[in-house]
Amino acid sequence: MTTTVSTTRGGVGDSALRPDGTLKVTGEFAFSSDLYADDMLWGATLRSPHPRALIRSVDIGAALALPGVYAVLTADDVPGERRYGLEVVDQPVLAGRSVRYQGEPVAIVAADHPETARRAVARITVDYEVLAPVTDPEAALAPGAPQVHEDADDDPRAGHSEPGPDQPLGTGNLTRHVPVRRGDPAATAPVVVAGRYEIGMQDQAFLGVESGLAVPAEDGGVDLYIATQWLHVDQKQVAACLGLPADKVRLTLAGVGGAFGAREDLSMQVHASMLALRTGRPVKMVYSREESFFGHVHRHPAVLHYEHGADTDGTLVYVRARIVLDGGAYTSSTPAVVANAATLGVGPYTVPNVAIDAYGVYTNNPPCGAMRGFGAVQACFAYESQMDALAAALGMDPVELRARNALTTGGLMPTGQLVEGPAPVAELLRRVRDLPPAPAGADFLPGGVANTTRGEGVVRGVGYAIGIKNVCFSEGFDDYSTARVRLEVINGRAVALVHTAAAEVGQGLVTVQQQIARTELGVDQVTVATADTRVGSAGSSSASRQTYMTGGAVRAACRLVADRVYARAGVPEGRLRDGAVLDASGAVVASLADVVGDDPIEQTTEYRHRPTSPLDPETGQGDAHVQYAFAAHRATVDVDVELGLVKVVEIATAQDVGKAVNPQAVVGQIQGGTAQGIGLALMEEIQVVDGLVRNPSFTDYLIPTILDMPPTRVDVLELADPHSPYGLRGVGEPPTISSTPAVVAAIRAATGRPLPRVPVRPEHIVG
Amino acid sequence: MDFHAPGTLADALAVKAAHPDALPIAGGTDVMVDLNFDRRRPPALIDLTRVGELRAFGADGAHLRIGAGVPYRQIIDQLAARAPGLALAARTIGSPQIRNRGTLGGNLGSASPAGDAHPPLLAAGAVVELASVRGTRTVPAAEFFTGPKRSVLAADELVTAVLLPVAPGPQQFAKVGTRTAMVIAVCSFAVALDPVARTVGTGIGSAGPTPLRATAAHDLPLPWDTAGPLDDDLVRRFGELVAAAARPIDDVRGTAAYRRHALGVLARRTLTWAWDDYRKGRA
Amino acid sequence: MRVTCTVNGEPREADDVWPGESLLYVLRERLGLPGAKNACEQGECGSCTVYLDGTPVCACLVAAGQAQDAAIVTVEGLPAAGALDPVQQAFLETGAVQCGFCTPGLIVAVHDLLARVPHPADPEIREALAGNLCRCTGYEKIIDAVRLAASRA
């Protein structure tokens, strides 16, 4: 176990303040939609109104003729590869012969004003042959179903980035099938509960819409200032589509207004670059909120059939499940989502007999991909609902049932993987249970200020849930991050410069990088350079991995720098603290500034977590994940059982974070992640009918307001992981996973309704 | 697109007469959404925020006259005693920022079936004042709406005011939304008791092509004389009449069946609260 | 058309304004003040909250011409004499800022709340900020920030 005691102010373990905080509170922080360049044009996108159609022709003449329009481009103008994709190259830059979802980009425009660009878009005429969309994932899997990708030249190819499976992907509308088999797949048990559960399509709903600025460069390349989660995977895809070498496509991270998975895939990156290269002028694109709903992937809607068998004492005997995830029109991260749902499908429990099949499916619904907790969120709602149903069937306390079956250190996952690190499943549950109950009464009743009740019909309920999530990339993927650290003397003081390509998306990674450099190098002043592609890849700000991976890379680079300091100072077993070089006994040998002098020390290194293995394609066995993270929630709700309105009164949560590198930021992640889980439980759903999105706006896609969020009690455990930097554990996703089933369990407790679907709507409660 | 900024009502009416296609804008809470989302491109905007006459409110004979340009914030802060149902409704509209800007006239002009201000106007028997260079006319609020986002407003007319009978009795308003704040109504309901006329005014929102009244409940036989507690059957009957008067549809915000059910609940509860207030007033 | 107004105490002027533009667009794209944010442009998120003649409004819902002769204060105008406003300082210290996109609008809304109600109770805070969406924080630390700023007033 690695324990680092911070002796440097603002180091690891301190709640250091964000370096970008002042700019953010004064409004000076430059988000990707705030960028400006002299002579800049505005880009706009024509999107398909149909979920499935053939394109007979596109007439851009009238658009080009509009004064103030500088370029109108279609699929034929894509200079390089016409398709891109994270794991599978199957998504067109601009639709060519066919469109596969409503909102698919068909043409792009550059003009002198956003309104000119919009008017030009409206003048483009597309002749569509409209086809019946494939919208039901189960039907899409049936033999003879119409194929979403039927064009001969549409054969998907391996993509650019993610933990793509080594085995061949599915065929037809099946994007991936992951089976997990453990023990006896036909095991029987005296107590059986079965259920069908359904998850609606959630949206990340970040506040900063897709936007960026592409600037044509003199070398024929492009400089792209963009909000993304992974600069290098964008760079690879953009370069390929532009037909340019990677070094001519330079990306710089602009301010990111939230991500949550929605910025893993490309949105306007290639489009703005194409327009900039064509016009020779900088081009800015900013989606509207409505367009944003069509501009990124969403959380996979899912239908999950589960059967749990247990002994009469509550010991789980088997879990069998069939999980169907609707991936929509393009692959995006679907293979990883399917793997997570399958491998984490029994939850944080020890189950001797498991038979799970998870499927990802192409349909003509909106493309789905990464969103916070991807794959684990869907499964958790189902398995935790099942655990409550089982507790009811056994007449057991739901927390004790969970604790009885809780995964522990040394336990085995259904994949056969040994859980090596701490797995405080039972402890987390008991911690939230043993907190004092939520106070009686509440500031707001269900309905809030809308005056729907004075207490009539209001019933309180309490529910529990716990979830599990894999941290970092899995399944044998070569997962790494790169850091460059430079130690130099400025104005007589030793200072550090940290440069990575890791995307700060709000989570506080810039702060963490500073903290690590302070701790490792014993300096106060650490500057984090703007993330860009001039340094090696950091991987994605996703899968709760960046503090682990880029934190690990910064620590490794700092230690290489420190080794050179010790060599220079002639101290074999040195340490750095408070601007001084110490020897093994802790005595000050020299000032760091004197040792560095006018010869800066710079090191660049890559950091990798220990390798993982692919899953066996038949049995789903394998050491596929590098780290597991756990969080438990207790939700207390007031339900107006006559109107079906719910007010969450209090959330109590406990989570093991291994090491809280920045305790304030950790709590912020837990509270924010919990809010997104509450949103999925109660209100958040992109409603799709016949492939058409019915609510692409913040008027009808509702996310929680401050009145919807209850006070939270956050209990942070720090049980060090033996393998990770500082013992830390990924933090971002677990709170989103278990909050949803906990809230629904509380509503069930108040109402007695089965509530097999989220979001729970008022009509489900009164129905 | 042209932009007109008349400073007086006379100028505003003249501009509207000359440019009947021009779109009036006050708080902008509907109009600007349509412009920002490229749903609407009127040839001109007429800014009504500089027309002082529209910002006035006060007693007007037996009525309370509220200028079309009075923002909700002011209705909440200054008119809660005289227009309690409307003030309750105003408090549920949008967000504080929206209530600072949005106006009663704008709500009427947009004529959305979900407009939160409409049910209390119907329940209270309000009258809408419309003006043009041709003159001024008044229309009962219940007859103002002709369909979703349609009203009797002529192309050259502006909504200038709402005339509310001074509340003779308790009023209530309640709204169901799928979020605790800043939400469009799934359905809403307003009730206004008139102990003088011994009638029950009602307004139903977001459950039909226009705001509706439950006219069959108008003469509900409440125990006005005794001011005794309401009989459960009577309250239930009221809920049924309100639910039956609704003409809801299924949409993204809720199902028709739920709306009908919820309206019955809201009707029972708000009637009970209003009646309790009436009894307290008599005690 | 031309729009002239006072922004953060300075007379400002924008030319060639298309009348369909919002005050938000004018501030961000014509006057170089991107502090007010463009998250929804339908009045449903509060990220563009500014003071218009002393009243907090969504700048996305104000037509450019409606701002003629008005006095506008944006988040950029709140710091006095180079020091952060106490509300800004409190957001910074409490961890109320994550991605920061909602922050400018929230800071104006909180600034207005504390000017009207110097020591708001929690329910007042929640009702006053119900028009400002935040997707990162779950709002707890925003409430902490309001309490902290109020305690220092």
Instruction: CATH number for B171-282: choose from 2.40.160.50, 3.30.390.50, 3.30.70.100, 3.60.20.30.
Output: 3.30.390.50
Residue range A351-402, pLDDT digits in tens: 999 999 999 999 999 999 999 999 999 999 999 999 999 999 999 999 999 9
pLDDT band at B54 (very low <50, low <70, confident <90, very high): very high
Closest of A371, A377, A612 to residue A474, by C-alpha? A612
Which chain A residues are Cβ-neighbours of C129 within 8 angstroms? 706
How far apart CA A250 and CA A236 sit, in angstroms, is: 10
Counted domains in chain C: 2
How far apart CA A618 and CA A574 sit, in angstroms, is: 51
Structural element, H or E, at residue A198: strand A191-199
pLDDT band at A150 (very low <50, low <70, confident <90, very high): confident
B42 — phi, psi (to 5°)? -70, 155
Asked if residue C136 and residue C96 are part of one domain, the reply reads: yes
pLDDT band at A259 (very low <50, low <70, confident <90, very high): very high
How far apart CA C110 and CA C105 sit, in angstroms, is: 9
By CA distance, what is A706's nearest residue in B?
Answer: B181
Closest of A306, A305, A324, A323 to residue A365, by C-alpha? A324
Closest of A565, A556, A567 to residue A604, by C-alpha? A556
Which chain C residues are Cβ-neighbours of A30 within 8 angstroms? 34
Query: Is-contact A553 A606, C-beta < 8 A?
Result: yes
How far apart CA A250 and CA A8 sit, in angstroms, is: 36
C44 — phi, psi (to 5°)? -110, 5
Query: Is-contact C87 C118, C-beta < 8 A?
Result: no
Mutate to test the interface with C, among B92, B95, B184 (most CBs of C within 10 A): B95
Question: What CATH number is attached to the domain comprising C37?
Answer: 3.10.20.30
Per 3-state DSSP, chain A is made up of helix, strand and coil in percentages (nearest 5) of: 25, 30, 45
C39–chain B Cβ distance below 8 A for any pair: no
CA torsion sign for A444, A446, A447, A450 is negative
Give me B76's structure tokens: 């909440």
DSSP reduced 3-state for A398? helix
pLDDT score for A152: 44
Largest CA distance in chain C: 46
pLDDT score for A159: 64
Prior bond of A190 cis (ω within 30°): no
CB contact (8 A) between residue A643 and residue B262: yes
Q: Which residues span the domain enclosing C50?
A: 3-76
Give me B201's structure tokens: 């005014």
Neighbours of B61 (CB within 10 A): 8
pLDDT score for C81: 82
Domains and CATH numbers, chain A: 21-28+480-608 (3.30.365.10), 41-132+209-256+263-295 (3.90.1170.50), 298-474+615-766 (3.30.365.10)
* A contact chains, 3+ CB pairs < 8 A: B, C
Burial readout A669-693 (b: 16 or more C-beta within 10 A, e: otherwise): bbbbbbbbbbbbbbbbbbbbeebbb
C-alpha distances in Å from residue B218, one per residue of A141, B122, B200, B214, B238:
56, 12, 5, 7, 10
pLDDT band at B121 (very low <50, low <70, confident <90, very high): very high
Which chain A residues are Cβ-neighbours of B179 within 8 angstroms? 683, 702, 704-705, 708
CATH number for region B2-42+57-165: 3.30.465.10
pLDDT score for A157: 60
Q: Which of A447, A708, A763 sits opposite B254 (nearest CB)?
A: A763
Query: Is-contact A705 C130, C-beta < 8 A?
Result: yes
pLDDT score for A160: 57
Asked if residue C71 and residue C11 are part of one domain, the reply reads: yes
Residue range C77-127, pLDDT digits in tens: 998 888 999 999 999 999 999 999 999 999 999 999 999 999 999 999 999
Kindly state whether residue C106 falls inside one of the protein's structural domains: yes
Closest of B261, B247, B160 to residue B207, by C-alpha? B247
DSSP per-residue codes, A459-493: EEEEEEEEEEEEES--TT---EEEEEEEEEEETTE
Task: Say how far residue B134 (Cα) sits from the centre of its chain.
Answer: 26
Question: What CATH number is attached to the domain comprising C90?
Answer: 1.10.150.120
Give me A556's structure tokens: 């490794």
DSSP per-residue codes, A7-62: -STT-TTS-PPPTTHHHHHHT-S-BTTS---TT-EEEEEEE-SSSSEEEEEEE-HH
Asked if residue C105 and residue C51 are part of one domain, the reply reads: no
A254: left (phi over 0), alpha (psi -120 to 50) or beta: beta
Task: Say how far residue A181 (Cα) sits from the centre of its chain.
Answer: 27
Kindly state whether residue C124 falls inside one of the protein's structural domains: yes
Asked if residue C72 and residue C9 are part of one domain, the reply reads: yes
Residue range B129-139, pLDDT digits in tens: 999 999 999 99
Asked if residue C142 and residue C102 are part of one domain, the reply reads: yes
C53–chain B Cβ distance below 8 A for any pair: no
pLDDT band at A215 (very low <50, low <70, confident <90, very high): very high
Asked if residue C123 and residue C144 are part of one domain, the reply reads: yes
Asked if residue C90 and residue C140 are part of one domain, the reply reads: yes
Query: Is-contact A258 C97, C-beta < 8 A?
Result: no
What percentage of chain A exceeds 70 in pLDDT?
A: 96
DSSP class of C152: T
Distance from the A341 Cα atom to the nearest Cα atom in chain C, whole angstroms? 24
Distance from the C69 Cα atom to the nearest Cα atom in chain A, whole angstroms? 24
Asked if residue C93 and residue C52 are part of one domain, the reply reads: no
Give me A562's structure tokens: 């420190």
Query: Is-contact A55 A128, C-beta < 8 A?
Result: yes
Q: Which residues contact B159 (CB under 8 A, 6 or more apart)?
A: B68, B105, B108, B109, B128, B129, B130, B153
Closest of A556, A555, A554, A575 to residue A565, by C-alpha? A575
DSSP class of A709: P
CB contact (8 A) between residue A712 and residue C138: yes
Task: Say how far residue B83 (Cα) sits from the centre of its chain.
Answer: 11
CA torsion sign for A180, A184, A185, A190 is negative
Q: Which residues contact A34 (CB under 8 A, 6 or more apart)?
A: A254, A255, C28, C34
Asked if residue C98 and residue C71 are part of one domain, the reply reads: no
Structural element, H or E, at residue A321: strand A316-328
pLDDT score for C82: 82
* C contact chains, 3+ CB pairs < 8 A: A, B
Residue A1 pLDDT greater than 50, yes or no: no
Asked if residue C131 and residue C70 are part of one domain, the reply reads: no
Asked if residue C115 and residue C147 are part of one domain, the reply reads: yes
Kindly state whether residue C81 falls inside one of the protein's structural domains: no
Kindly state whether residue C111 falls inside one of the protein's structural domains: yes
